[in-house]
Amino acid sequence: MNRNNSMGDPFRRNKMQSYFKFSLIAFAAVMFVGIAIYFFGQKQENVDYSKADFIQFRTPEDSATVVVFETTEGTIKAVLYEKEAPKYAEYFKDLVKDGYFDDTYVCSIFHYKDREGSSGFIMGSKTTDGVSNKESNTKTVNIELSSNLLPTKGALGSYVKDGGWFTKAKAGSVITVFGDSVDMNELKDTKVDDVNGLYSVRDLFAKYGGVFAGIKYTLFGQIYDGWDAFDKINATRIIGEDKEDDDKDKSYQPEREIKIIKAYLSTYGEQKQNGFNIPQRSDYDPDLFKNSDSTSSSENK
């Protein structure tokens, strides 16, 4: 009897309806957040190199787009990989066509006391110290990752900031040109699972040099000509050169002014006088990883 009364209680039905409505709202909210995170702010996963086709070490077609940087240190030429980073390549080419990079600066050169060689430099800044001004293009493009490109010596990339829950990492108008700070012994001693093809990547870094790290940039180009100018820029002293890396007075800004005088687009067919040349490291040993690879393979089984 009591059970029948309670089942017919209108207040109980109202409570059940409220609970049901609340559950639907909560479920919808969770689904919305999940969808939003997935489509707008999902974290970038590790790049899978296990089936990569490393096109940046391959001579491009004559029709491939090339950017030519005429700098105060000489001319640098780089091929663009528009299929690997289509949105950023379009953005970058528009900047070049508009003359945005003309009379811009190299604002940072990465010299670290605990590493030999430069890790690279940043160019395309409207100011000598890299601080944006009213002339700076502050538009950003969502980061585009490709397993076919690596931050090896001479690679072009762009990176602005990390993403959050609802934003992806961004690429912008400043250009990172990767240098060479690879240590052979460090590469050999690196212990990583080979699930993402990292051992083949490791060998390429040993062969061509670069910055071997889990850096996630939009990579969009590769220098193939103008290595003398590239080396001059990387060798330039920075402000606070002899200071420790964590010293606030070490700015990584070059001691002297280095500029992009002019940048323009062309094709590889028009810009291949010296061929497609990515020099190998003089200390490259193709047998370096034979023992460590066999050991690691057995450990991963």
My answer on whether 225 and 147 are in the same domain is yes
| pLDDT: which is higher, 193 or 136 | 136
My answer on whether 115 and 248 are in the same domain is yes
In a domain, 154, yes or no: yes
My answer on whether 102 and 7 are in the same domain is no
Q: In 3D, which of 91, 68, 70, 220 has the Cα closest to residue 157?
A: 220
* Domain at 214, CATH number: 2.40.100.10
Q: Over the chain, what HEC string results?
A: CHHHHHHCCHHHHHHHHHHHHHHHHHHHHHHHHHHHHHHHCCCCCCCCCCCCCCHHHCCCCCCCEEEEEEECCEEEEEEECCCCCHHHHHHHHHHHHCCCCCCEEEEEEEECCCCCCEEEEEEEECCCCCCCCCCCCCCCEECCCCCCCCCECCEEEECCECCCCCCCCEECCCEEEECCCCCHHHHHHCCCCHHHCHHHHHHHHHHHCECCCCCCCEEEEEEEECHHHHHHHHHCCECCCCCCCCCCCCCCCECCCCEEEEEEEEECCCCCCCCCCCCCCCCCCCCCCHHHHHHHHHHHC
Number of domains present in the structure of the chain: 2
User: Is residue 101 scored above 60 in pLDDT?
Assistant: yes
In a domain, 300, yes or no: no
User: Is residue 84 scored above 60 in pLDDT?
Assistant: yes
In a domain, 48, yes or no: no
My answer on whether 35 and 66 are in the same domain is no
| pLDDT: which is higher, 170 or 291 | 170
My answer on whether 9 and 60 are in the same domain is no
Return the pLDDT at 123.
97
My answer on whether 223 and 85 are in the same domain is yes
Return the pLDDT at 297.
39
Tokens representing 285 are 């040993």
In a domain, 67, yes or no: yes
My answer on whether 133 and 34 are in the same domain is no
My answer on whether 95 and 27 are in the same domain is no
The pLDDT of 181-194, averaged and rounded, is 78
Q: Place 192 in a pLDDT band, splitting at 50, 70 and 90.
A: low
Return the pLDDT at 37.
41
Q: What digits encode the pLDDT tens for the residues 121-169?
A: 999 999 999 999 999 999 999 999 999 999 999 999 998 765 444 446 7
- Supply the range of the domain harboring residue 20: 2-40
Mean pLDDT rounded to a whole number for the chain: 83
Q: Place 295 in a pLDDT band, splitting at 50, 70 and 90.
A: very low
In a domain, 45, yes or no: no
Q: In 3D, which of 196, 143, 150 has the Cα closest to residue 58?
A: 150
